[in-house]
Amino acid sequence: MENQIYLGIDPGFHFTGFSILKLENNKTYLLECNCLQMNSKDTLSKRVGLFYNTFNQKILTYKVTNIVLETSFLGRNAQVFLKLGYLRGVLYLLADQNQINITEFAPTQIKQILTGFGGASKDQVALALKVMFPQLQNVLKNAKSDVSDSLAITLCGVWQNQLKNRLGKIL
């Protein structure tokens, strides 16, 4: 099996958490884990452009093979939900342009996979990540929750792919 590079994204118009993991010989390596900060004073089109340019560059630089997202849900503000749809659309466009697989997980699925409880809090998810990956203590210590959320999302994509590969070998 060739290397797989996963880009997990927790989109937002102020902060977008993202993580890039490499799956090689059944081992997972962290390539980057960070947050894209956008200026709330910039126009919507400027922020969408920055989002596109940033993730297009990440895809090209790391040769991303998989994009992983959390399914969106309608919260209290329909306008925010609608605007997040723009960013998700950008990611679907990038996936199409670069012939990349795109996978989505529901928030409860991610929490269930990482903590064993679909109703876990963001703090519980971050704690589970720190316990599973002690080497990430410094990365996650002062990071915004968007970063740990993106890492959780990315891990779900990696683990799902590993499971599919193992099942494929059995069947």
**What is the distance between the alpha carbons of residues 163 and 53, in angstroms, rounded to a whole number?**
32
Q: Which residues are catalytic?
A: 10, 70, 146
**What is the distance between the alpha carbons of residues 46 and 27, in angstroms, rounded to a whole number?**
38
Strand (E) or helix (H) holding 37: strand 27-37
- 72 backbone φψ class: left, alpha, beta (φ>0; ψ -120 to 50): beta
DSSP code string of 125-159: HHHHHHHH-GGGHHHHHS--HHHHHHHHHHHHHHH
**What is the distance between the alpha carbons of residues 171 and 169, in angstroms, rounded to a whole number?**
6
